Structure 1
Amino acid sequence: MPALVTAIAASALLAACGGDDATTAPVTPPAAAPLANQLYTQTNESANAIVHFTRQSNGMLVRAESTPTGGTGTNAVGASGATAPDSLASQHSVILSADAKMLFTVNGGDDSISALSIDQTTGALTLLKKSAATAGHMPNSLAYNNGILYATFLSGAHALAAYKVGVDGSLALMAAYDLNSVAGVAGAAPTQAIVTPDGGSLVVSAGTASGAVLSFPINADGSLGTPVANTGLTAPFAAAFLPQKTNPIYLSTSASQGSLTEFTDAAGLLNSVSTASTTASAPGVAAPCWLVLSPDGTIAFVGNGSGAISTYSISPTSGLSLLNATAVTEPGVKSGVTSVAADSWVSPDGKFLYTAYLGDDKVVAYSIGLNGSLAKLGETVIGTSTGISIQGLAGI
Structure 2
Amino acid sequence: MPTAPDPRPTVVTWAASADRLGEAVADRTHRLVVRTSVGGRDLRVRLSNAFGERPVTIGPVYVGTAAAGAEVGAGTNRPLTFDGAPSVTIPPGGAAHSDPLSGRFPARADLAVSLYVPDAAGTATGHVRAGQTSYLAKGDQAAGHGPGPYIEQTQSWLHLDAITVRAEPGTTAVVTLGDSITDGSASTDDTNRRWPDFLARRLLADPAGGSVRGVANAGISGNMLLADGSGESALHRLDRDVLSHAGVRTVVLLEGVNDTKADPTPSARSMTAALEEIAARVGAAGLRLAVGTIMPFHGWPAWSETAEAVRQEVNAYIRTAGTFDTVIDFDRTMRDPRDPLRLLAEFDCGDHLHPNDAGMRALAEAVDLGAL
* TM-score, L = length of structure 2: 0.28
Structure that is richer in strand per residue: 1
Structure that is richer in helix per residue: 2
Q: Structure with the greater relative contact order (CA < 8 A, sep ≥ 6): 1 or 2?
A: 2
Structure number with bigger Rg: 1
